[in-house]
Structure 1
């Protein structure tokens, strides 16, 4: 009989062991499948957060590989969509990305009225996944024609709301429960306060304090038959809220993340009732971030209400990790989040001193190696800095939180001595990660969206071709040093894929035959794809309640004294003069107006025409048009005939990227009497400088102006303010988006001094091996 019992026990053990092994293997397969495809996430640093609508808005973007925790070097295309406060699209850009970074910006103008604007960055690849990896930044823009009221930092006490987060999802009877408490106003601004917990007889059984982020914790050993009330009473806030009903039993996961030697201890707890319910049932404790996962089996015996496990954090990923308790049916019982801080954080040193010509030299050094940084420098009294986000907060924190913590800089601020404790409270008050277990188990990603790299230039030739011929299309842009070829298939189609093409670039296409000779034919060409959509719901920073303004502190911008009397011409002004020698004047009718272009002059030729009696632009098909303004001879608004070096221009697209510094002389005859080709619409003759390569203008071609390509990066300029006080409040001293660090080298930035005794420096970046840095500092300016 004893032998039978032993064999039965052995069989039960082997069966259980087999089941556990099988479940662990299934869990591993679930995770490997769900996280098989690498995900991108984006962080963007703006040079500041509040702008006057006469300034340049600039940004630097960083793209992260979640699977590798390093820069995502394969990303090429990032989409930007800008929304106004009514969530209407006002602008789109396709931004070129290389080595995991991109830079760009906007020239603001009077079209940007006072209000909030939302800048949304994403990639087409992100549309394949349930979890949102995009980046949304709220920017405030100020109209200089309106007074500006500074906003108070006080929360809206009248709309305070309490959220409770028990460790196991519910408060369990007769054991010590840690209950997270979060208090925020209607705009999700944290409220710092104190409070107590009372039983039904008004006895104080616990107390708590919430930090500046609004997070806190209280501990409670409850009675199943008792009712508890949370109470806050202060000068600014009075709240009484009942606690959820105490549950008879359940399971809690808790941990200690502050042990020496980089250790993490996790406890799985239940009460006496739970021991009876869960006796001999096997659970799997899973610690996981992306594909990195550790599994450990747990079994409650007849006497234990708590199981503890010790882990070395060097095997866990930096940032938020999920601790899940999985039952025998592979269902999730509960989840806790734990934050693993990097063992070593790179140290950055910054020093500013006055140098020659009344400028400041900012010198920096960082322990990052092979890194890309971006730095914004603002005046000491600048009010446009509201640094509440950090690159660590995006990649280590919000990549994994179900409810992103937008104001996350304080959790990484080296001057915040309580940042580690603040992070622990945040983890307690986040109920779950954005990666849901049910999705991991049964809803792996389906890849329906491409990983875009560049754009595609495609089209068709009109000429009927021999099916066996080997004709090809050449694509040329001399200005951008582009020379490429593609075959023409049997359907007369051609395609240039993964192509870097900026907006406003003029490409020349021509057909080449087997003998490498150009063949005249009509060619249709287009750029694709256009802007791709974002399939997930957008997380706008919605203002539920009005932002309180400090009515005692407002600012009114000065009106420019020269506004009504002086017109600032951004482009060049060219005047006809008899002193300049005009080489081709005798070739023109006496009614023609002549212009000698000086070598130092710059600007676009089409803009020059706009200032001299013509209208230019792009028509609905994206082609350049030139028309005569009404009011000239004959009142005709048709297109004039244009010549370059006495060769007629059959395609006006050629003129799109023609600049004044390439031109020697211009003649405009609006009467149309200078040549027999023009019929009443006038003549424009352009003579190029002798040293210019004229092959670009002589070839027989079809031109294509890119209008769905990559946005051109702006050349950032500091805005001119009417008063020094305006500049100190709202201006930017320096924006340096592309600082490259190699071998821990130093870097230097020069900026105007003014009366600065100290400057504000915003620095962010990452290294090739995945180290992150994000700092905001006030740096004193020393004299030599």
Structure 2
């Protein structure tokens, strides 16, 4: 297959080779540069949307998957994910803060009915991404249709901006060497002529060769350049486009990579000429194959007797996903560069089947080898038009973070992959005209950790009064709604700070000043602010294809049906029947209360709730850190540990006794208590306290806690609510409706899972499943199935 002049070296990257490399100063320098540049952890954020085309009066539902690029596993180091919605002009429309847990987050954007039809973009990022020179954020394109306008009528044909882009493999055209040149024929929107042909011509318009491009406008050809000008020409009807091949360099190294002909190895050809060999005298060359800081560094021999060298590297020594191949000399100069792709080694089977129908739901069972996977599932009509923009999880996680020019149709390359599709994917990577990670930056500009991973919100403030012995005071923050109770020291500047607070949007938290040793509540005023809520992305938003000229006036397509929704629902106010207050106990007939002693609390009772509990058979203690313990006065275990009671507030089981320290009797309507009541439990429980608060209580006494409104907290983790469609049995629903959205489905230890979706009374469904396992295996499956 190869000429005798070529030397075939089968390279096995082993511990022995690495040991030999360890003594090479250049290898050490290259290794250090890569390790420093990629030392900080980088995240890939991947979005799965319930669909990609929305009406302007709908919600966008999404799930995010965060992958650690070093380990290729779910990323746990951050909770704060910022998500922004932009229009196609780059105007920010609104922003959300999502809470990530165990590497995933869920949420939604509620659109505005006044949004115009067109392309929009969701950008997601974390604060840590501001550390990097490259843009590591994720941008997902969506379409919005305003029902009063219709959809923007898209011209599927290439426009006047159609160009031919030539990309010599390795980056430079070398004189006197057989070079591979990539070709891309597309306009500024990425549109092309399907199965177009280009001609390679000399200066006299003599055709040297003809190349057929694939359906996406990509191809390549081989040429040995000389001093004679060469041009590449495309003809279509009356349209003619031509591009001059760049002038070949006298000095350089050509690189050719073949990672598609063989299933288990990549072939690397390195070629140069006599002029370059004379400059390389006394220099060492290295083939550097890396993915971030993971690397293999291989010595390369080019000399007067060996202008070319061919290497074969087994794929098992490469890295799943994008690999960057560079030729570096011992002066750290890069001679050429190329990226290639290695598919995920295991593509495990996943299947689904209908179990049965019940209560308007279709019950489904899934079977896979993806143990302990976290999935999201979108269910749409089979012939939907609402998912014409692809959001392939494998592409967005393993390719998109490493390229500077996004490409379309990723599902094509990852659905039933074949040698042909692998070749075509390699054509796309060959035609990346600009590398994302520049070698000079790697050498000289490693990122600094100026921006942190954020975990929750940070609240900081000042007490507006003079304090003596600040160490005797603490500030307490609590939120019953969010189950938060934390204390902060007060420093000499009267400052307090609460870190890692996770609260929802528009949440009111209560602040109180406590004084030791009794931890009495002291009335004061607080000046509080949230430090890390607004963390803008430092790089300007640039929409894909933003260089394309936009028409002054859009043409709209109204020839298709849209879903029809039920009319506006008028929400009536609750009718409250007011009755004269009664002194009788109103909760005594509730389950279990008849065995407890009930107390009706006077509205003017200003004593502490903990004092009342202590007066009714329990021991109450408070520590210097604000913790509260309540125990019975009897010892019932052999070890002498005193039991603790089961406490309820408004029939909710109490999560911490410290919450009782926030309450006075004046806000309580009734208490049912028995220190000797038996509690069926293995947790050493005895005694029951049931507390019922007054409805619509407003304190008339001096305010001891100060409310603070967190205006822009985390987006609430709400469950999916579908649109109120008038009917599923129409073309509009088939075009743009959504059947259901299952945002969190977990597989068991064997990979099996269950899910259900709304029975839309249609025969055929499209089901899209995305997710990942705890060990980082990516899942992107699509099914079209009939459900009887």
Q: TM-score, normalised by structure 1?
A: 0.78
Query: Which among 697, 704, 722 is matched to residue 708 of structure 2?
Result: 704
Between the aligned partners of 2:60 and 2:214, the Cα distance in structure 1 is 33
Offset, 1:84: 2.8
Structure 1's 183 and 352: CA in aligned 2 closer, same or farther, altered over 3 A? farther
Match of residue 182 from structure 1: 184
Matches within 5 A, 1:764-779: 764-777=770-783, 779=784
Match of residue 596 from structure 2: none
Offset, 1:444: 0.9
Q: Deviations over 1:587-626 (max 9, x none)?
A: xxxxxxxxxxxxxxxxxxxxxxxxxxxxxxxxxxxxxxxx
Match of residue 151 from structure 2: 148
Match of residue 291 from structure 2: 289
Offset, 1:78: 0.8
Between the aligned partners of 2:239 and 2:53, the Cα distance in structure 1 is 31
Q: Does 1:61 align with 2:67?
A: no
Structure 1's 250 and 219: CA in aligned 2 closer, same or farther, altered over 3 A? same
Query: Which among 165, 190, 196 is matched to residue 167 of structure 2?
Result: 165
Match of residue 582 from structure 1: 579
Match of residue 338 from structure 1: 340
Offset, 1:353: 6.3
Offset, 1:457: 1.9
Match of residue 597 from structure 1: none
Residue 185 of structure 2 contacts residue 192 of structure 2 at CA under 8 Å; is this kept in 1? yes
Match of residue 393 from structure 1: 395
Match of residue 559 from structure 2: 554
SS in 2 for 1:765: strand
Which stretch shifts more, 27-36 or 354-363? 354-363
Query: Which among 473, 480, 483 is matched to residue 481 of structure 1?
Result: 483
Which stretch shifts more, 40-49 or 474-483? 474-483
Matches within 5 A, 1:28-177: 28-148=31-151, 151=154, 154-177=156-179
Which stretch shifts more, 471-480 or 361-370? 361-370
Between the aligned partners of 1:151 and 1:760, the Cα distance in structure 2 is 25
Residue 382 of structure 2 contacts residue 764 of structure 2 at CA under 8 Å; is this kept in 1? yes
Structure 1's 124 and 525: CA in aligned 2 closer, same or farther, altered over 3 A? same
Match of residue 528 from structure 2: 525
Match of residue 680 from structure 1: none
Between the aligned partners of 1:720 and 1:130, the Cα distance in structure 2 is 46
Residue 361 of structure 1 contacts residue 751 of structure 1 at CA under 8 Å; is this kept in 2? yes
Query: Which among 719, 724, 744 is matched to residue 720 of structure 1?
Result: 724
Between the aligned partners of 1:69 and 1:49, the Cα distance in structure 2 is 26
Structure 1's 302 and 88: CA in aligned 2 closer, same or farther, altered over 3 A? closer
Q: Deviations over 1:311-361 (max 9, x none)?
A: 232222211111111123211111111212222223221334662456433
Residue 263 of structure 1 contacts residue 310 of structure 1 at CA under 8 Å; is this kept in 2? yes
Residue 152 of structure 2 contacts residue 554 of structure 2 at CA under 8 Å; is this kept in 1? yes
Matches within 5 A, 1:450-489: 450-467=452-469, 469-489=471-491
Structure 1's 126 and 205: CA in aligned 2 closer, same or farther, altered over 3 A? same
Residue 561 of structure 2 contacts residue 732 of structure 2 at CA under 8 Å; is this kept in 1? no
Residue 320 of structure 1 contacts residue 340 of structure 1 at CA under 8 Å; is this kept in 2? yes
Between the aligned partners of 2:529 and 2:554, the Cα distance in structure 1 is 50
Q: Deviations over 1:547-581 (max 9, x none)?
A: 99997772365888x86xxx6224x43346xxx56
Which stretch shifts more, 126-135 or 510-519? 510-519
Between the aligned partners of 2:562 and 2:324, the Cα distance in structure 1 is 51
Residue 86 of structure 2 contacts residue 93 of structure 2 at CA under 8 Å; is this kept in 1? yes
Matches within 5 A, 1:587-626: none
Offset, 1:539: 2.6
Q: Deviations over 1:70-92 (max 9, x none)?
A: 11111211111222333222212
Residue 185 of structure 1 contacts residue 191 of structure 1 at CA under 8 Å; is this kept in 2? no
Output the aligned Cα RMSD: 3.3
Offset, 1:746: 2.2
Between the aligned partners of 1:167 and 1:574, the Cα distance in structure 2 is 71
Structure 1's 98 and 64: CA in aligned 2 closer, same or farther, altered over 3 A? same
Q: Deviations over 1:93-142 (max 9, x none)?
A: 22111111111102234243333322211111111111211111222222
Which stretch shifts more, 297-306 or 176-185? 297-306
Offset, 1:174: 3.6
SS in 2 for 1:479: coil
Offset, 1:150: 5.7
Matches within 5 A, 1:327-726: 327-352=329-354, 355-357=357-359, 359-405=361-407, 407-414=409-416, 418-467=420-469, 469-514=471-516, 515-543=518-546, 544-545=548-549, 554-555=559-560, 568-570=569-571, 572-575=572-575, 582-584=579-581, 692-694=692-694, 700-722=704-726, 724-726=730-732
Between the aligned partners of 2:149 and 2:333, the Cα distance in structure 1 is 58
Residue 336 of structure 1 contacts residue 432 of structure 1 at CA under 8 Å; is this kept in 2? no
Between the aligned partners of 1:496 and 1:759, the Cα distance in structure 2 is 49
Between the aligned partners of 2:449 and 2:471, the Cα distance in structure 1 is 38
Q: Deviations over 1:40-75 (max 9, x none)?
A: 221111111111122221110111211222111112
Offset, 1:522: 2.4
Match of residue 318 from structure 2: 316
Query: Which among 176, 181, 198 is matched to residue 201 of structure 2?
Result: 198
Match of residue 749 from structure 1: 755
SS in 2 for 1:764: strand
Between the aligned partners of 1:19 and 1:108, the Cα distance in structure 2 is 57
Between the aligned partners of 1:149 and 1:405, the Cα distance in structure 2 is 22
Offset, 1:733: 0.6
Between the aligned partners of 1:218 and 1:728, the Cα distance in structure 2 is 44
How many pairs align?
A: 666
SS in 2 for 1:424: helix
Which stretch shifts more, 37-46 or 748-757? 748-757
Residue 765 of structure 2 contacts residue 787 of structure 2 at CA under 8 Å; is this kept in 1? no
Which stretch shifts more, 165-174 or 506-515? 165-174
Match of residue 264 from structure 1: 266
Between the aligned partners of 1:740 and 1:236, the Cα distance in structure 2 is 57
Which stretch shifts more, 411-420 or 312-321? 411-420
Match of residue 11 from structure 2: none
Q: TM-score, normalised by structure 2?
A: 0.78
Query: Which among 762, 771, 774 is matched to residue 768 of structure 2?
Result: 762
Residue 155 of structure 1 contacts residue 185 of structure 1 at CA under 8 Å; is this kept in 2? no
SS in 1 for 2:766: strand
Residue 473 of structure 2 contacts residue 515 of structure 2 at CA under 8 Å; is this kept in 1? yes
SS in 2 for 1:159: coil
Offset, 1:155: 3.3
Residue 196 of structure 1 contacts residue 206 of structure 1 at CA under 8 Å; is this kept in 2? yes
Which stretch shifts more, 259-268 or 757-766? 259-268
Match of residue 735 from structure 1: 741
Which stretch shifts more, 488-497 or 270-279? 270-279
Structure 1's 645 and 155: CA in aligned 2 closer, same or farther, altered over 3 A? farther
Structure 1's 374 and 250: CA in aligned 2 closer, same or farther, altered over 3 A? same
Structure 1's 418 and 775: CA in aligned 2 closer, same or farther, altered over 3 A? farther
Residue 503 of structure 2 contacts residue 714 of structure 2 at CA under 8 Å; is this kept in 1? yes
Between the aligned partners of 2:486 and 2:505, the Cα distance in structure 1 is 18
Structure 1's 35 and 147: CA in aligned 2 closer, same or farther, altered over 3 A? closer
Q: Deviations over 1:400-435 (max 9, x none)?
A: 113233543322122777321111111211245311
Structure 1's 366 and 29: CA in aligned 2 closer, same or farther, altered over 3 A? same
Residue 458 of structure 1 contacts residue 496 of structure 1 at CA under 8 Å; is this kept in 2? yes
Structure 1's 334 and 478: CA in aligned 2 closer, same or farther, altered over 3 A? same
